[in-house]
Amino acid sequence: SRLYNRRGSSGINAEYGVASCGLRHSVLSLSNSTAIRYTFEGLRERFSRLYNRRAHLHHYLNVDGMEAEQVEAAYESLNNQIALYSEMESAEPLDIVKPCVI
């Protein structure tokens, strides 16, 4: 059986042998959330403090092929992800037709 909600779906698997430890049932939950944005924001804040002082940067620049521009590109990519998650968080939810289980 499956349960659907706005954030994802959950299901109970009754097939024998699928669950670990010899149990007869297992539960699977798939969810989609923008909550990771807060983790990314914390990461950006910590990275900014270190990067502004150029702390530990020489360790990364000593790696073959790594350049300061790549570090800055990664920082911009993180900013873009945060902006995208913020945009999704403020968007109206979609009306999704839920499949029927017969």
pLDDT of residue 1: 47
pLDDT of residue 4: 46
pLDDT of residue 100: 62
Q: Could you report the per-residue pLDDT of 45-92, keeping only the tens digit for each?
A: 999 999 999 888 888 888 777 898 999 999 999 999 999 999 988 877
Q: Could you report the per-residue pLDDT of 22-52, keeping only the tens digit for each?
A: 666 666 666 667 888 898 999 999 999 999 9
**Per-residue burial over 42-68, b = 16 or more CB atoms within 10 Å of its CB, e = otherwise:** eebeeeeeebeeeeeeeeeeeeeeeee
Higher pLDDT residue, 89 or 95? 89
